[in-house]
Structure 1
Amino acid sequence: MTEFNEKQLEILQVAEQLFAEEGFDGTSVRDIAKKANVNIAMISYYFGSKEKMLEALVLNRISDMRLQLESLYHENIPPFAKVDKMVELYISRINKNRCIYQIIHFEFSTKKRELNFDSFTEMKQNNLETFKNIIREGQDSGEFHKDINVALLPPIIMGTYFQFHMNKPLYMKIFDLKTEAEYENYIATTLTQHIQKTIKALLVYEN
């Protein structure tokens, strides 16, 4: 896992905020340096370029997720409880870091610049292995079916969340969510519970 010092983490936090507010193209290294209260030379020394900074930001987010998944895997709780906590972890992480996820997906889809996301893909594969290990526990105990395409479960979790969030005005109207706090609470409770039920239904569904 890539380790960052305190100053690097501060810079990455500022970069993420500016990327989210102004877009990747709309943010300059000078903007980041000014807001982070550091000189441009320090950013160049730590990261090399704005593109490398984005790569570092992605790695920092995904490596942190790996630690939390591995911690969950080693918890002494029943498989169904682990699945509930795993879904809750995914949704809370995505919701908290949705700006960087949107930047990543934009960069992947447009391919406007050369970004090296090989390490990102490798870490996501490692996260998927931990995800599979959690599901395998339930399979070994006979609680989950053996014939499950585990690799397709994370897209269901993330896809449901992003479909909901991308249509935020619609769902706020449908569910009469009048404030940002009510919207965030709905994600943390009702939406998360809906996704938990969906994933658990797939784990016990008989063909």
Structure 2
Amino acid sequence: MKTDFNEKQVQILLIAEALFAENGFEGTSIRTIAKKAEINIAMVSYYFGSKDKLLEALILYRTSDLKIQIENLSVENLDPVEKIDKLIELYINRIRCNKGIYRILHFEFSSEDRETKMKVLNEVRTRNLKSLETIIHEGQAKGIFRKEVIIPLIPPTIMGTFFHFYMNKEYFKKLLTLETDEAFENYIQTKLKTHIQQTIKALLLYES
């Protein structure tokens, strides 16, 4: 599937993303998307073919540049620990700036039935995991990272921590005395990010 979209396609993708995040994938019809975009239903079908294909296009639209960033990071002239820190920062920033698609992926598509239809999502996951493996294998080869690390559990550790925090926003705002949404977002960028970085490095590094 192509990753370059015209202006009208991008408009449809963004509207679909907002509706999927708000009403759920199953709760959003092509008719609703077309109405919100002020276009004919046939145009959605013309551009994307089906609702599943529209979602696949949305995943590609939201992840294509992340692919480049992660691949570039894996070959940067940094030590493996610095790469892990930067990788986590990339993940956190990406989730914060694109909460809609990540909410859809994290909560709407956990069932096996849906996932078997989501070849594109699995390809994205596999691709990003390979870049992570490259960084961790480099650290293992240099004797920095432990050999017994279960690499596929690293991404869900990062994203699971973020989403638990974010989806319990009011609880953590009260618990941590974060009086405004701005303070909450700032906490994510600083304290939560650092906490996740420390957690992942604790899993990777030999005990000192």
Answer whether TM exceeds 0.5 for this pair: yes
Q: Is the 8 A contact 2:3 2:64 kept in 1?
A: no
SS in structure 2 of the partner of residue 131 of structure 1: helix
Across the aligned residues of Structure 1 and Structure 2, the Cα RMSD in angstroms comes to: 2.3
Q: CA deviation at 1:68?
A: 1.6
- Deviating above 4 A after TM superposition, structure 1's stretches of 4 or more consecutive aligned residues are 110-115
Q: CA deviation at 1:112?
A: 7.7
Q: Separation in 2 of the partners of 1:114 and 1:90?
A: 21
Q: CA deviation at 1:2?
A: 3.3
Unmatched 5+ stretches in structure 2: none
SS in structure 1 of the partner of residue 3 of structure 2: coil
1:183 matched to 2:175? The reply is no
The 10-residue stretch of structure 1 (111-120 or 48-57) with the greater mean CA deviation from structure 2 = 111-120
Q: CA deviation at 1:164?
A: 0.9
Unmatched 5+ stretches in structure 1: none
**Structure 1 residues 91 and 114 mapped into 2: Cα distance closer, same or farther (>3 Å)?**
closer
- In the alignment, what sits opposite 1:54? 55
Give the aligned residue type for 2:130. E
**Structure 1 residues 25 and 200 mapped into 2: Cα distance closer, same or farther (>3 Å)?**
same
**Structure 1 residues 169 and 120 mapped into 2: Cα distance closer, same or farther (>3 Å)?**
same
Identity among equivalent pairs (%): 54
SS in structure 2 of the partner of residue 95 of structure 1: helix
**Structure 1 residues 182 and 66 mapped into 2: Cα distance closer, same or farther (>3 Å)?**
same
- In the alignment, what sits opposite 2:91? 90
Q: Is the 8 A contact 2:81 2:201 kept in 1?
A: yes
Q: Is the 8 A contact 1:62 1:120 kept in 2?
A: no
Q: Separation in 2 of the partners of 1:150 and 1:106?
A: 22
- In the alignment, what sits opposite 2:198? 197
How many residue pairs get aligned? The number is 207
**Structure 1-normalised TM-score?**
0.88
**Structure 2-normalised TM-score?**
0.88
Q: Is the 8 A contact 1:33 1:43 kept in 2?
A: yes
Q: Is the 8 A contact 2:173 2:184 kept in 1?
A: yes
**Structure 1 residues 64 and 116 mapped into 2: Cα distance closer, same or farther (>3 Å)?**
farther
Give the aligned residue type for 2:4. F
